[in-house]
Structure 1
Amino acid sequence: MSEPLSVFDDLRAESQELDELVQDLGREVWARATPAPRWTVAHQIAHLAWTDRAALLAMNDPDAFAGEVEKAVAAPDSFVDDGADAGAAQEPAALLAQWRDGREELQKVLRGAAAAKTRFPWYGPPMSAASMATGRLMETWAHGQDVADALGVVRPPTDRLRHVARIGVRARDFAHAVHGLPAPGTEFRVELVAPDGQAWVYGPDDAPQRVTGTALDFCLLVTQRAHRADLGLRAEGPDADRWLDIAQAFAGPPGQGRPPKGAAR
């Protein structure tokens, strides 16, 4: 699948959907716990605002962003949490305004850079403007899932998941690398059922190893918003099976993921 420039519109739509979930929440709900350990609803939005600022810095001042990467490397266990803590300490109205302003500024910069071949630094591999937008959409959807879970809201899956699925597939070898594992020697076939019932397929048709299931389940897996045991994904082949245990679509070290439903936290 190609990476369409509509990802910018889809990023805006994904952000707006989450905005509508939180815009009228009272202070006590902003402080409600989400499935991420120690993170409240406010932490989720603060993290998105913080990461949008990081993306802007990477695109506008790569040298300054390199300093942020050094901080992340120096404090891998606290860097992200510290940023979320600082943002979550703000008044909800101020945090919401900060997130809105930052994501709109990022939209302008991303669209302005779309025609260029420039690749921008990130905490993982360098990315084009379209890939940066894909990453931001993936994070917005994933952290939005945490917020929705905290609020008891079921979000209907949309066609925007194609961006999350695509980055999850492309991050296969990266997921192995951050676990200190060699990448599989051949491509997998990934066949996903989209929200509209169509098929999203990746990899050669004759690949001996494959993953099948719904796009929603695959996206929940690669963003580590659900445990594999609670999803209907199927792996054929030992390497594909191992991948489903370690898959991640996000940059940085392996996440904690979510425990299986019913497991003690």
Structure 2
Amino acid sequence: MSFLCQLPVATLCRRSAHHPPPPGAECRSSRAAQRRILRHRRQKRHRGHRSHTGGSQGRRFHRCEPGGPAFQPALLRAPPPVCRRIERTRRTATARAPAADLQHLIAGPTTPRPVAFPYLSAGFRSGRTKKRCEPTASWHLFIALSYEIVREILSDLVAEEQALDQLLQKIAIRDWKRRTPTNNWSIQDIVAFLASSEEFALRVLQEGRAPLVETETYASLEDFATSGIDRGRSMRPQDVIEWWRGARAGVVDALSRMTRSQRIPWFVDDISAQTFATARLAEAWAYGLDVQSVAETQLEDTPRLRHIAWLAWRTLPYAFKRAGHAYVPVRVEVIGPGYAKWVYGPEDSGQRIKGSAGEWCRVAVRRLSASETSLSAEGEAAELALLIASTAV
């Protein structure tokens, strides 16, 4: 008894943890001191369990070794209460995080936060009192997926424009005056048109409908496109390509802050951000085909064609309306690169278009006619769709 009282408190508590004293033995340290010592050991063992560097802090006990989990009291084997509280707080914060913070987690700390989102009755909950409504987890998931879809299209848009940029760098400056067989434009005219088009799109994203009103001063959209080409002809080829690079980077940056369903004013009608980004991709790919024909090179089709194939099917109602025909749902079944099957339209439709995705996209951007391809059409509406299909929005 006297021997136990002469031992240090730490030694006494360590021995009592592994070899409890016989009944009736008394310990001079208070229960508070024992709890502090046990808490210190628990935190030390928790840090050592997570460490892989070795040493006294990083050693892991075998479960049957003295000091291992099988020999520890139940209080020491339980996870620290602080960790449980942190995990519970993290889950709650993730489930109820504002949409801006959720976007911040998805895209990284450098992405600007959106301005605001509409409060929809189906996606929000509120109590009996008139307090600010809180977004539900399903609404947060919808916003996150919208941003993810737009970023997927933007990544393919950047890749397509970069592929065209690399092709242009391989062409000698003296060949920039060569004409394309499609519209009798030179390579410099094509790049100038793309630059002016991207610059105009950036103005629409920043200013709204005001730039569209300015185009009404032109007799037609062809005259408006010619104005950008004339501007590019007075510049050096190096300046024209830098003009295009700066404009397209601004468009991608502006679209990265939008969800796929946000509306953007455009020539015919307001379109979604998803359609807007896909139209930019289709335009870059179509004029890239013209540059390839002048450079006498042929690039392989990529899985990025799935966006253009979708846009060609999505704009069929507008193409039928412009041609003066009533739209009948058409189903498009095409095979893309790597034997990927892309299907658009209702499954029970009797009007079907089948064939290669590359040929379907080239028909939609008016680089091939339907008679020059192996595409097959089932039904009168499908045959008419092959004649009037267009990605123009």
Fold-level similarity (TM above 0.5): yes
- Equivalence for 2:383: 241
Further displaced range: 84-93 or 104-113 = 84-93
Between the aligned partners of 1:75 and 1:190, the Cα distance in structure 2 is 32
In the TM superposition, residue 51 of structure 1 has moved relative to its aligned partner by 1.0
Which letter maps to 1:162? R
In the TM superposition, residue 77 of structure 1 has moved relative to its aligned partner by 4.1
Q: Superposition pairs for residues 154-173 of structure 1, below 5 Å?
A: 154-173=298-317
Decide whether the 8 Å contact of 2:180 with 2:290 is kept in 1.
yes
- Equivalence for 1:98: 243
Decide whether the 8 Å contact of 2:335 with 2:341 is kept in 1.
yes
* Residue 229 of structure 2 is aligned to residue 84 of structure 1: yes
Deviations 1:168-201 (A, max 9, x none): 001101112222x1232x3111100011102100
- Equivalence for 1:260: none
In the TM superposition, residue 75 of structure 1 has moved relative to its aligned partner by 2.5
Between the aligned partners of 1:89 and 1:31, the Cα distance in structure 2 is 13
Between Structure 1 and Structure 2, which shows a larger proportion of helix residues? 2
Between the aligned partners of 1:205 and 1:114, the Cα distance in structure 2 is 28
Q: State the Cα RMSD in Å.
A: 1.8
For residue 255 of structure 2, the aligned residue among 105, 110, 114 is 110
Between the aligned partners of 1:230 and 1:134, the Cα distance in structure 2 is 25
Between the aligned partners of 2:221 and 2:248, the Cα distance in structure 1 is 25
Q: Scaled by the length of structure 2, what TM-score is found?
A: 0.60
Q: Which runs of 5+ in 1 are unaligned?
A: 252-265
For residue 64 of structure 1, the aligned residue among 206, 210, 219 is 210
- Equivalence for 1:129: 273
Further displaced range: 236-245 or 119-128 = 119-128
Which letter maps to 1:166? W
Between the aligned partners of 1:58 and 1:192, the Cα distance in structure 2 is 34
Q: Superposition pairs for residues 200-239 of structure 1, below 5 Å?
A: 200-239=342-381
* Identity %, equivalent residues: 33
Decide whether the 8 Å contact of 2:212 with 2:267 is kept in 1.
no
Decide whether the 8 Å contact of 2:353 with 2:375 is kept in 1.
yes
Structure number with greater CO (CA < 8 Å, separation at least 6) is 1
Between the aligned partners of 1:130 and 1:242, the Cα distance in structure 2 is 26
Decide whether the 8 Å contact of 1:23 with 1:96 is kept in 2.
no
Deviations 1:66-93 (A, max 9, x none): 2234135x33442222322322331000
How many residues end up aligned between the 2 structures?
246
For residue 51 of structure 1, the aligned residue among 191, 197, 209 is 197
* Residue 342 of structure 2 is aligned to residue 197 of structure 1: no
Deviations 1:137-165 (A, max 9, x none): 01000011111111111110000001101
Between the aligned partners of 1:177 and 1:81, the Cα distance in structure 2 is 27
In the TM superposition, residue 119 of structure 1 has moved relative to its aligned partner by 0.8
Decide whether the 8 Å contact of 1:142 with 1:225 is kept in 2.
yes
In the TM superposition, residue 229 of structure 1 has moved relative to its aligned partner by 1.6
Shift of the 89–201 alpha-carbon distance from structure 1 to 2, 3 Å rule, reads same
Which letter maps to 2:316? R
Structure index of larger Rg:
2
SS at match of 2:263: coil
Between the aligned partners of 1:130 and 1:238, the Cα distance in structure 2 is 30
SS at match of 2:377: strand
* Residue 159 of structure 2 is aligned to residue 17 of structure 1: no
Which letter maps to 2:380? P
Between the aligned partners of 2:163 and 2:192, the Cα distance in structure 1 is 16
Decide whether the 8 Å contact of 1:110 with 1:130 is kept in 2.
no
Q: Scaled by the length of structure 1, what TM-score is found?
A: 0.87
Between the aligned partners of 1:49 and 1:171, the Cα distance in structure 2 is 24
